[in-house]
Amino acid sequence: MPIAVPITFENAYMGRAEYNTDLLAELTDVCIEQNVTLGRVEAIGALTKARIGYYDQAERTYKYEVFEYPVEITNLTGNVSLKEGEPMVHAHITVSDENGNAYGGHLASGNTVFACEFMVMRFSGRSLQRSFDETTGLPLWDMK
């Protein structure tokens, strides 16, 4: 049976990621600066280079696809929780190329911003800490 905890919306921050920066680092920096430790992230925009991850469940490792050309961010959504006491942004991203082909997966380091508008929402409630999950090999929320 799923375990869920109540949360309450506190506030939101809207902003723009700087040109030629790493998108994951920019979102993480906003969370650190605004003390967002329980939240949600969303973004749209464009990248000059993209790096998207896929978790190989059998090998228990991430594999990455790199796009060395401009793409549009058609969707980015994710959450913010704590890992080792620090805010961690866990997001998935969908990008499209000039022909409308879409690619998606985990937002990883190595996504270079051309233009990006984002929203970070902060919630209050029980802190969600990530810890190593033996079954999946992933740092998942400890719901105990």
Strand 112-125, strand 86-96: pairing:
unpaired
Flag whether 36 is in a domain: yes
Q: How confident is the model at residue 51 (pLDDT cuts 50, 70, 90)?
A: very high
Is the pLDDT at 9 greater than 80? The verdict is yes
pLDDT tens for residues 18-41? 999 999 999 999 999 999 999 999
Burial of 60 (0-12, 13-18, 19+ CB in 10 A): exposed
> Residue 27 is part of a domain; what is its CATH number?
3.30.1330.80
- Write the pLDDT tens digit of every residue in 56-108: 999 999 999 999 999 999 999 999 999 999 999 999 999 999 999 999 999 99
Instruction: Check whether 2 has a pLDDT greater than 90.
Output: no
Whether 136 contacts 73, CB under 8 Å: no
What's the domain range around 28? 15-126
Which pLDDT belongs to residue 144? 81
**In 3-state terms, what secondary structure has residue 26?**
helix
Render 65-90 in DSSP notation, one character per residue: EEE-S-EEEEEEEEEEEEETTEEEEE
Q: Please state the rounded mean pLDDT for residues 114-121.
A: 98
Residue 5 lies in a domain: no
